[in-house]
Every structure is written in C-alpha cells, then in structure tokens.
Structure 1
Amino acid sequence: MGLLTWVIIGILAGIAMNLLRPAAGGGFAVALVLAVTGALIGGYACAVLNIGTLTTLEPKALLAALAGSLLFLFVFCKLRIS
C-alpha cells in the first residue's frame, strides 16, 4: 500500500508542478516521471532510515515522498538548459 501511495503522491506533485509552471519541466510526461521517481526515492529513504515502511502509511514517510518529488522536479528545472 505504501508504494502505491508514494507513486500517487509523485503523480499529484507532477500534475501540480505542470499546472504551476507548464513550460518549466520539459513536458507533462517528463514532470510525471521525475515526480514519481523523486517520491519513490524519498519514500525509500524513509524506509531505510526506519521512519516509515511500505506496509504502513506514516505521515513522515508521506511528507518525505512529497519532498523528494518536489526536490527532484526543482533540481531538474534548475539544471535544464534552454
């Protein structure tokens, strides 16, 4: 259940990023892939650090997944060469 939640958080973050800055991510699909990847990395980091696991829905792990997806999108937007 936790893995699916992390993916959903990543999708929602990608949609929100695309709504806020449509031209800043390279496209809708790129924003979704980056956000889901960041959410999985953030959620996995919490699981490794025993903050939250895949079987429980810990608020800290959900926030870390959200932070990971937003950070991944932010770094991509800053490193993107126009």
Structure 2
Amino acid sequence: MGILSWIILGLVAGALAKWLMPGKDGGGWLATMALGIAGAFVGGWVGSFIGLGPATGVNLGSLITATLGALILLFVYNKFLR
C-alpha cells in the first residue's frame, strides 16, 4: 500500500474513531491522521490474532480494521495518558 493510501486511510479512520468515541479530544488534522495510521497498524496487529486480517488497502475491511485500532489507541490515550 502506498504512502498516499496510508494517509487517506489514516485520515478517514482517525476521523471516524474521534467521531465514534465520546468526549472532548484535542488535536487537529495531523493528530487525526497519525491516530488513524497508528490505528491501522494496531488494528492489523490485533486483527491478525482474531482472524480479521491486516489493513491491506483502501477498502471497507481495512477501514474497519484501522478504525477499530484507532478506537483502541484513543481509548488508551483518554484513560491512561491524559
């Protein structure tokens, strides 16, 4: 997957995670992209253990996997690092 695909997937997944997670979150577009890209890695890692598979491109399965990973990261950030 190319860098542009990771950025697009990260932006969409990070925005979805921030929209789905209740509460006030800081950060702008760059933080949202970083959250989504890191979420794609975390989601792919967790997804490989439970049978969902990794984030492999800009498609619905990868978007769901990346968004779930971003939700995990956002939850950890809000509960433990804030």
- Per the shorter chain, which TM-score range? 0.5 to 0.7
1:31 shift after superposition: 3.5
1:70 shift after superposition: 1.5
Report the residue type matching 1:71 in the other structure: I
Q: Is 1:51 aligned to residue 67 of structure 2?
A: no
Counterpart CA distance in 1 for 2:57 and 2:14 is 24
Partner of 2:11: 11
**Ranges in structure 2 where 5+ consecutive residues have no aligned partner:** none
The aligned runs of 1:24-63 (5 Å cut-off) are 24=25, 26-28=26-28, 29-46=30-47, 51-52=53-54, 54=56, 57=59, 59=61, 61-63=62-64
Report the residue type matching 2:35 in the other structure: L
Q: Secondary structure at the match of 1:27?
A: coil
Partner of 2:81: 80
**C-alpha contact (below 8 Å) 1:2/1:56 kept by paired residues:** no
**Ranges in structure 1 where 5+ consecutive residues have no aligned partner:** none
Aligned-pair RMSD on alpha carbons?
3.9
Counterpart CA distance in 1 for 2:55 and 2:31 is 27
Higher-Rg structure is: 1
Q: How many residues align?
A: 78
> Please, what TM-score do these two structures have when normalized by structure 1?
0.54
